Amino acid sequence: MSVENNKNDNVKDNRNPIQWFPGHMAKTRRIIAENLSQVDIVLELLDARAVVSSRNPDIKSITAGKPVLTLINKSDLADGKINRKWIEYYKRSGENALLIDCKSSDKSNGIKNIYPEIKNILSEKLEKYRSRGMTGRRLRAMILGIPNVGKSSLLNKLCGNVKAKVEDRPGVTLRKQWVSANIGIDLLDMPGVLWPKFESETVGLNLAFIGSIKDDILDNPENVVKLCGFLRAKYPNEFAERFKLDMAEVKSDENIEPSSADNYYIFQRIGQKRGYIMPGGEIDSERCAKTILTEFRAGKIGRISLEEPGE
């Protein structure tokens, strides 16, 4: 598949590291450090679609040796096979991890497994409490995660009612808040915290795709063209079916990485299929990008994982 060479002019290739460190995130890091002594365990929330990219690489140094239970959220939006690979990966690494889905009311959403796993991890501490007659002491947990991984949704799910403001955009939780959960623990919800610089362009793009970076930080059409390239390579059937594309134009040679021009052509085809045509016959790129991104985030294209162990 090919298009005119000048199509390449419409697709930028920005290789510079993406920097994003607003002041409230620096403040959040300080608040975390100041409050760690008040909690027994840290609940680290990740996005199942981008487990590596959504994990703050500074988490181990930030938590200063506190026990950590990793909760891989939004598992219903991610590839089921890859979800299982991540759990196996964490087991091999000797880390504690669970798959959860905070939006679902289904009993298989993994929420019920959180408290038993916390008690298992803190079994020695709980035994000390019992030996001292401190059986009524409530455990305390800090919820950590980057923006928009579902911290407030988890908080509300564990409390059984709406305690925290929930929106599908980053930066909604702006201050710490203590909440008593109905599973017998107290939860400290923290604002989402990113890190100073994304050394990998892929990490920055993945965070943009899942909505952990505000959409106005990175150029949507440019990034969504790259998302189209990923979907063509990894999930061609789901991609073609959702946007009513011919498999012949979507499917690329598995040994050849789709070119930027070809990805841009597919992006344009989606705009044509959806009728996003402006006066003069040009595609409304902003509208097309927003549609693709919104449908990806909502799982309408399919259960998509941007990363898997070993990559």
Structural tokens at position 153? 């949704």
Length of the chain: 311
Highest mean pLDDT among 36-40, 56-60, 148-152, 301-305: 301-305
Q: How far apart are CA 219 and CA 229, in angstroms?
A: 16
pLDDT tens-digit series, residues 10-51: 333 444 444 445 555 667 777 888 889 999 999 999 999 999
What stretch of H or E contains 193? Answer: none
Provide the CA 300 distance to its chain's centre, in angstroms: 16
Helix extents (H) in the chain: 23-35, 59-63, 80-92, 114-121, 123-131, 151-159, 201-210, 220-234, 236-242, 247-250, 260-274, 285-297
pLDDT of the residue at 294: 94
Q: How far apart are CA 8 and CA 197, in angstroms?
A: 28
Confidence of residue 1 (pLDDT cuts 50, 70, 90): very low
DSSP string, 61-78: HHHTT--EEEEEE-GGGS
Q: Does 185 or 167 have the greater pLDDT score? A: 185
Q: How far apart are CA 129 and CA 136, in angstroms?
A: 9
DSSP string, 227-284: HHHHHHHH-HHHHHHHTT--HHHH---TTSPPPHHHHHHHHHHHHHHHT-B-TTS-B-
Q: How far apart are CA 275 and CA 269, in angstroms?
A: 10
pLDDT of the residue at 59: 81
Confidence of residue 73 (pLDDT cuts 50, 70, 90): very high
Q: How far apart are CA 82 and CA 98, in angstroms?
A: 14
Structural tokens at position 24? 């409230």
Question: Is the separation of the CB atoms in 194 and 204 below 8 Å?
Answer: no
Instruction: Determine how many CB atoms are found less than 10 A away from the CB of residue 124.
Output: 8
β-bridge partners, 70? 44, 97
Mean of the pLDDT values across residues 63-72? 91
Mean of the pLDDT values across residues 53-69? 86
Q: How far apart are CA 64 and CA 144, in angstroms?
A: 13
What is the separation, in whole angstroms, between the first and last Cα of the chain? 27
Helix (H, G, I), strand (E, B) or coil at 174: coil
Q: Which of 133-147, 169-183, 233-247, 284-298 has the lowest mean pLDDT?
A: 169-183
For the whole model, what pTM was predicted? 0.83
pLDDT of the residue at 195: 61
For all residues of the chain together, what is the average pLDDT? 83
β-bridge partners, 283? 277
pLDDT of the residue at 13: 40
pLDDT of the residue at 272: 96
Q: Which of 10-19, 172-181, 199-208 has the lowest mean pLDDT?
A: 10-19
Q: 58: which residues sit within 8 A by CB, 6+ positions away?
A: 195
